[in-house]
Structure 1
Amino acid sequence: MGLVNIIKEIGHTEVFYAPKAGRFCKGLALLWATMASVQIMGFISVDTFLPYIGLCLVSILYCLCDGSVQFKGRYVFLYLVFLFNVLVLPIEPCFNSKLRFVQFLIVTLACSACISSARAIIFRRYVFRYALMYICILSIGSFFAFFLGVNYMQVGTQLGLAEYSSNGGTFGGLVNHSMTLGPISMISALAFYVIYQNNNSKIFIVLFFLSAMSAVMAASRSALLGVAVAILFSLFL
């Protein structure tokens, strides 16, 4: 099975499914997912956070420009609880809690289910599709990066195989932090596991293994536990 055929087959699976949408919706979702993924890529040093926040605002406006917009009450309640904590609790100024809350609000309004409309649902589906593609590429790429001695962890530590046993938590691969590599590798592994369940091609088990090993290399026990629990859940429940 050629690489092009594998990519086409992955794109047609249920995990990566997205309904029909216009070019603007697809383009905005691809740009949003790209900018979000750039935030964790260790090999890109350009600061793109402000453009990313601006793109989130554009995405929110796009989702709101629909005739049947609704706001989910549980999300609004969650935002109010967070706002209350930020305003009332004695949080150290060094954490910039008010600014972080505003950033959290903007990002989650763009990608969560708080804003409910037909346009928002389709848009988020494409965001999920493109972001998952980036996650899978970074996860699998990080597996090979380990053996090539490539480590973009921001601490600047380049690890070899001999050093890894005592410094496992400092391997980030193509990602800027090991604590980010672990969770995204878990998501990638679960995606390929679900694809394998619906398509018995052995290549997807190989991709599952590569993603899971990236979580091992990142020394993320919680990520590995998450993979195990999710697989057991799918098998027995």
Structure 2
Amino acid sequence: MKLHNATVLITGANRGIGLAFAREALARGARKVYAGARQPQSVTLAGVQPIALDVNNPEQVAAAARLANDVTLVINNAGIATLGSFVAEGSIEAARAQMETNFFGPLRVSLAFAPVLASHGGGAILNVLSIASWINSPLLAVYGASKSAAWALTNGLRNDLRAQGTQVLGLHMGFVDTDLTHGIEMPKSTPEEIVRRALDALEAGADEVLADEFTRQVKRGLSAEPGVYLRDPRA
């Protein structure tokens, strides 16, 4: 999947990683970039087409697919995160909210745009995931569960859409310096670094990209004995 002359839809494109994706897509020669946001007036990047898109709103998702019927690349970036463990007060409500945006949101968008991609030869879907797909800590326990579900969704969609020629890429990464991680004192990548590596992998035809060294270490640790997911991440 090449960005040159592509038509790109990005959810959550008004800030952070989504904004970095929009900038890099334009820099790589995308023909058109639809910048989805719940409040399209918050999209201020020149050269993109703002579009009202709340991934939790089925009517808006359907309307976006009708409007952006020339899309060849969907980037499912929109996501939310709240801190807290599974045993913290309000964890069930937090789980419902994060699953709605981080799992059902990409599922809604992918289902709506799969026929659009098929009509243009297959195209691609890029899902923004996390190392939290694989390891879980009390800091981001419920968020991690939502990203584990999104990883399973990504792997399933890859098989579901293989016959129509759609590339499905899962982007895994550690902490990135965005509003989402404000207040978390951990080493962080820049959004620009992550996006460049993600789009390099997309253009190379990859199914998965591990966008920083910490993520690569964690992936290797999944098959260790004991597996990295069995360890206390605070140790």
Q: Which has the higher helix share?
A: 1
Please indicate, yes or no, whether the TM-score normalized by the shorter chain is above 0.5. Answer: no
Larger Rg over CA atoms? 1
Q: Which has the higher strand share?
A: 2
Query: What TM-score results when the alignment is normalised by the length of structure 1?
Result: 0.31
- Of structures 1 and 2, the one scoring higher in RCO (CA 8 A, sep 6+) is 1
Query: What TM-score results when the alignment is normalised by the length of structure 2?
Result: 0.31
